[in-house]
């Protein structure tokens, strides 16, 4: 299955609030397969549909126990605080210490229409929260103060002008696409 290019900062699809998935069908399953290809290639542990230009509410991920899909996800509970140096394949080559809830309870649907319910802590919890942000048109830059954001945008603009979609060393190893 052929991978799809990952959209980077500056692409308007990343700022859009994605729409609920209406039909869980073969087309969606194929798209998930191609997104997983892109995610493993990157490599990353999660990839949200808007990152491949599809403004729909689902993401693919692999937290060490195989490829998975979460459709129309919703965080129903969150608790505590946890700081982590978080990066994003759509914001290549950069990362920031960001505080978010430590534990979450997330629900959604799988590709067979089955209900999924996950309670996650720390890094796994961070993965889902990060992907949820993509569905709401939010990027890491939205968590920065004004000065940090200005600096980041400057670097990103220069990088995008110079290199297109990849950074100076080509695609890099960032955990959160
Ligand atoms: Zn991301």
| 137-176 per-position pLDDT tens digit | 999 999 999 999 999 999 988 887 776 555 444 444 444 4
Number of H helices, E strands in the chain: 3, 7
What pLDDT score does 174 carry?
40
Asked if the structure places residue 174 within a domain, the reply is no
Q: What whole-number distance in Å separates Cα of residue 46 and Cα of residue 60? A: 6
Annotated active-site positions, please? 131
Asked if the structure places residue 130 within a domain, the reply is yes
Asked if the structure places residue 175 within a domain, the reply is no
Asked if the structure places residue 4 within a domain, the reply is no
CATH number of the domain within which 18 lies:
3.90.45.10
135 and 48 Cβ atoms separated by less than 8 Å: yes
Asked if the structure places residue 3 within a domain, the reply is no
Asked if the structure places residue 154 within a domain, the reply is yes
Beta-ladder partners of 79 = 103
Q: What whole-number distance in Å separates Cα of residue 58 and Cα of residue 22? A: 11
Q: Indicate the number of domains in the chain.
A: 1
Q: What tokens appear for 96 in the block?
A: 């920031």
pTM of this structure: 0.89
| Domain around 51 | 12-164
Q: How far, in Å, from the CA of 175 to the mean position of ligand 1?
A: 9
What pLDDT score does 163 carry?
67
Q: How far, in Å, from the CA of 87 to the mean position of ligand 1?
A: 7
Asked if the structure places residue 86 within a domain, the reply is yes
Tens digit of each residue's pLDDT (9 = 90 or more) over 66-84: 999 999 999 999 999 999 9
Tens digit of each residue's pLDDT (9 = 90 or more) over 85-115: 999 999 988 999 999 999 999 999 999 999 9
Asked if the structure places residue 143 within a domain, the reply is yes
Q: How far, in Å, from the CA of 17 to the mean position of ligand 1?
A: 14
């Amino acid at each position: 299955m052929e991978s799809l290019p990952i959209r980077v900062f500056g692409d308007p699809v990343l700022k859009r609030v994605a729409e609920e998935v209406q039909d869980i069908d073969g087309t969606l399953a194929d798209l998930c397969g191609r997104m997983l290809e892109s995610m493993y290639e990157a490599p990353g542990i999660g990839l949200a549909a808007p990152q491949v230009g599809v403004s729909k509410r689902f993401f693919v991920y692999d937290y060490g126990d195989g490829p998975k899909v979460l459709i129309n996800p919703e965080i129903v509970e969150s608790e505590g605080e946890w700081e982590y140096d978080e990066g994003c394949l759509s914001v290549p080559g950069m990362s920031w210490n960001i505080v978010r809830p430590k534990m979450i309870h997330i629900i959604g649907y799988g590709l067979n229409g089955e209900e999924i319910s996950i309670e996650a802590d720390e890094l796994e919890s961070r993965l889902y929260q990060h992907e949820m942000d993509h569905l709401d048109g939010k990027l890491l830059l939205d968590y920065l103060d004004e000065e940090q954001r200005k600096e980041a945008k400057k670097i990103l603009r220069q990088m995008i002008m110079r290199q297109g979609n990849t950074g100076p060393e080509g695609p890099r190893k960032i955990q959160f696409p």
